Amino acid sequence: MHRSGLKPNQFTFASVFKACGALSSSELGKQVHGFSVKSGCDFNVYVSSSIVDMYTRNGEMGGAHKVFDEMTERNEVCWNALIAGYARKGEGENSLEQFLKMQRAGKRNGRRDGETKERLSLHKSSERRKRGEVRAANGGQTVLSYQHPLGFTLVSL
Protein backbone atom coordinates (compact mmCIF):
# COMPACT_ATOMS: atom_id res chain seq x y z
CA MET A 1 0.00 0.00 0.00
CA HIS A 2 2.73 2.41 1.03
CA ARG A 3 4.85 1.57 -2.02
CA SER A 4 1.96 2.30 -4.36
CA GLY A 5 1.62 5.80 -2.93
CA LEU A 6 -1.57 5.20 -0.96
CA LYS A 7 -1.63 6.69 2.52
CA PRO A 8 -3.04 4.69 5.42
CA ASN A 9 -5.91 6.18 7.38
CA GLN A 10 -7.43 5.45 10.80
CA PHE A 11 -9.23 2.35 9.48
CA THR A 12 -6.04 0.97 7.96
CA PHE A 13 -4.09 1.43 11.17
CA ALA A 14 -6.85 -0.03 13.35
CA SER A 15 -6.95 -3.14 11.14
CA VAL A 16 -3.17 -3.54 11.09
CA PHE A 17 -2.95 -3.22 14.88
CA LYS A 18 -5.64 -5.86 15.24
CA ALA A 19 -3.62 -8.17 12.99
CA CYS A 20 -0.41 -7.50 14.96
CA GLY A 21 -2.22 -8.37 18.18
CA ALA A 22 -3.72 -11.54 16.72
CA LEU A 23 -0.32 -12.63 15.40
CA SER A 24 1.45 -11.73 18.66
CA SER A 25 3.83 -9.68 16.54
CA SER A 26 5.17 -7.18 19.03
CA GLU A 27 8.07 -5.91 16.91
CA LEU A 28 5.89 -5.31 13.85
CA GLY A 29 3.27 -3.66 16.08
CA LYS A 30 5.88 -1.26 17.46
CA GLN A 31 7.01 -0.36 13.95
CA VAL A 32 3.44 0.30 12.84
CA HIS A 33 2.86 2.31 16.01
CA GLY A 34 5.82 4.52 15.12
CA PHE A 35 4.52 4.92 11.58
CA SER A 36 1.05 5.87 12.88
CA VAL A 37 2.67 8.57 15.03
CA LYS A 38 4.57 9.93 12.01
CA SER A 39 1.34 9.85 10.00
CA GLY A 40 -0.55 11.72 12.69
CA CYS A 41 -3.21 9.03 13.05
CA ASP A 42 -2.28 7.89 16.56
CA PHE A 43 -4.39 10.62 18.19
CA ASN A 44 -7.62 9.09 16.88
CA VAL A 45 -9.52 7.29 19.67
CA TYR A 46 -10.14 4.22 17.49
CA VAL A 47 -6.51 3.94 16.45
CA SER A 48 -5.32 4.52 20.02
CA SER A 49 -7.73 1.86 21.30
CA SER A 50 -6.37 -0.55 18.69
CA ILE A 51 -2.81 0.24 19.80
CA VAL A 52 -3.73 -0.42 23.45
CA ASP A 53 -5.35 -3.71 22.44
CA MET A 54 -2.34 -4.73 20.34
CA TYR A 55 0.08 -4.11 23.20
CA THR A 56 -2.10 -6.00 25.70
CA ARG A 57 -2.44 -8.99 23.36
CA ASN A 58 1.36 -9.05 23.14
CA GLY A 59 1.61 -8.97 26.94
CA GLU A 60 3.22 -5.53 26.97
CA MET A 61 1.15 -3.82 29.63
CA GLY A 62 3.70 -1.01 30.04
CA GLY A 63 3.32 0.02 26.41
CA ALA A 64 -0.45 -0.35 26.59
CA HIS A 65 -0.67 1.79 29.72
CA LYS A 66 1.61 4.46 28.23
CA VAL A 67 -0.63 4.83 25.17
CA PHE A 68 -3.76 4.69 27.36
CA ASP A 69 -2.43 7.39 29.70
CA GLU A 70 -1.60 9.67 26.76
CA MET A 71 -5.07 9.37 25.22
CA THR A 72 -7.03 12.65 25.33
CA GLU A 73 -10.29 10.79 24.74
CA ARG A 74 -11.10 7.33 26.09
CA ASN A 75 -13.99 5.12 25.09
CA GLU A 76 -15.22 1.78 26.42
CA VAL A 77 -13.09 -0.06 23.86
CA CYS A 78 -9.76 1.21 25.22
CA TRP A 79 -10.88 0.64 28.83
CA ASN A 80 -11.97 -2.92 28.02
CA ALA A 81 -8.73 -3.61 26.14
CA LEU A 82 -6.72 -2.60 29.21
CA ILE A 83 -8.96 -4.58 31.58
CA ALA A 84 -8.79 -7.67 29.36
CA GLY A 85 -5.01 -7.32 28.99
CA TYR A 86 -4.46 -7.48 32.73
CA ALA A 87 -6.95 -10.34 32.91
CA ARG A 88 -5.08 -12.35 30.26
CA LYS A 89 -1.88 -11.91 32.24
CA GLY A 90 -3.63 -13.23 35.36
CA GLU A 91 -3.39 -9.86 37.10
CA GLY A 92 -6.89 -9.84 38.59
CA GLU A 93 -6.18 -7.04 41.02
CA ASN A 94 -4.95 -4.68 38.26
CA SER A 95 -7.82 -5.73 36.01
CA LEU A 96 -10.39 -4.96 38.65
CA GLU A 97 -8.64 -1.69 39.54
CA GLN A 98 -9.00 -0.55 35.91
CA PHE A 99 -12.63 -1.68 35.91
CA LEU A 100 -13.30 0.46 38.97
CA LYS A 101 -11.51 3.44 37.38
CA MET A 102 -13.65 2.99 34.28
CA GLN A 103 -16.76 3.05 36.45
CA ARG A 104 -15.59 6.21 38.24
CA ALA A 105 -14.89 7.84 34.86
CA GLY A 106 -18.57 7.33 34.05
CA LYS A 107 -17.98 4.82 31.27
CA ARG A 108 -20.49 2.04 30.82
CA ASN A 109 -19.30 -1.52 31.04
CA GLY A 110 -21.75 -2.49 28.34
CA ARG A 111 -24.43 -3.84 30.64
CA ARG A 112 -26.23 -1.43 32.96
CA ASP A 113 -26.07 2.36 32.92
CA GLY A 114 -27.17 2.78 36.54
CA GLU A 115 -24.32 0.72 37.91
CA THR A 116 -21.61 2.93 36.44
CA LYS A 117 -22.03 5.67 39.01
CA GLU A 118 -22.39 3.44 42.08
CA ARG A 119 -19.47 3.27 44.45
CA LEU A 120 -17.54 -0.01 44.50
CA SER A 121 -15.42 -1.12 47.40
CA LEU A 122 -12.62 -3.60 46.96
CA HIS A 123 -12.25 -6.58 49.29
CA LYS A 124 -9.26 -8.86 49.06
CA SER A 125 -8.07 -11.83 51.03
CA SER A 126 -4.67 -13.45 50.76
CA GLU A 127 -6.26 -16.84 50.01
CA ARG A 128 -8.35 -15.39 47.18
CA ARG A 129 -5.33 -13.52 45.84
CA LYS A 130 -3.40 -16.80 45.70
CA ARG A 131 -6.20 -18.28 43.59
CA GLY A 132 -6.33 -15.10 41.49
CA GLU A 133 -9.69 -14.00 42.87
CA VAL A 134 -10.66 -10.43 43.71
CA ARG A 135 -14.10 -9.33 44.84
CA ALA A 136 -15.79 -5.94 44.74
CA ALA A 137 -19.07 -5.17 46.47
CA ASN A 138 -21.50 -3.02 44.50
CA GLY A 139 -24.60 -2.17 46.51
CA GLY A 140 -25.27 -5.78 47.49
CA GLN A 141 -24.02 -7.09 44.17
CA THR A 142 -20.63 -8.73 43.87
CA VAL A 143 -18.25 -8.62 40.96
CA LEU A 144 -15.92 -11.60 41.11
CA SER A 145 -12.80 -11.91 39.03
CA TYR A 146 -10.96 -15.20 38.94
CA GLN A 147 -8.41 -17.12 36.94
CA HIS A 148 -10.10 -19.80 34.87
CA PRO A 149 -8.06 -22.56 33.18
CA LEU A 150 -9.25 -21.33 29.76
CA GLY A 151 -8.74 -17.63 30.51
CA PHE A 152 -9.60 -14.80 32.85
CA THR A 153 -13.22 -14.03 33.63
CA LEU A 154 -15.10 -11.20 35.32
CA VAL A 155 -18.45 -12.45 36.58
CA SER A 156 -21.18 -10.25 37.99
CA LEU A 157 -23.09 -12.14 40.67
What tens digit of pLDDT does each residue of 31-90 get?
A: 999 999 988 887 889 999 999 999 999 999 999 999 999 998 898 899 999 999 999 888
Domain containing 113 equals 10-124
- Compute the average pLDDT of residues 111-132: 40
Tell me, yes or no, whether 37 lies in a domain.
yes
Would you say residue 33 lies in a domain? yes
Is the distance from CB of 34 to CB of 17 less than 8 angstroms? no
Helices 10-22, 45-57: inter-axial angle, 10-degree rounding: 10
Q: How many domains does the chain have?
A: 1
Query: What is the model's pLDDT at position 70?
Result: 93
Is 106 domain-assigned? yes
Residue 130 lies in a domain: no
Beta-carbon contacts of 117 under 8 Å, excluding residues fewer than 6 positions away, are: 103, 106
Residue 129 lies in a domain: no
pLDDT at position 143 over 60:
no
| Residue 144 domain flag | no
- Helix (H) or strand (E) holding 116, with range, is none
140 domain-assigned: no
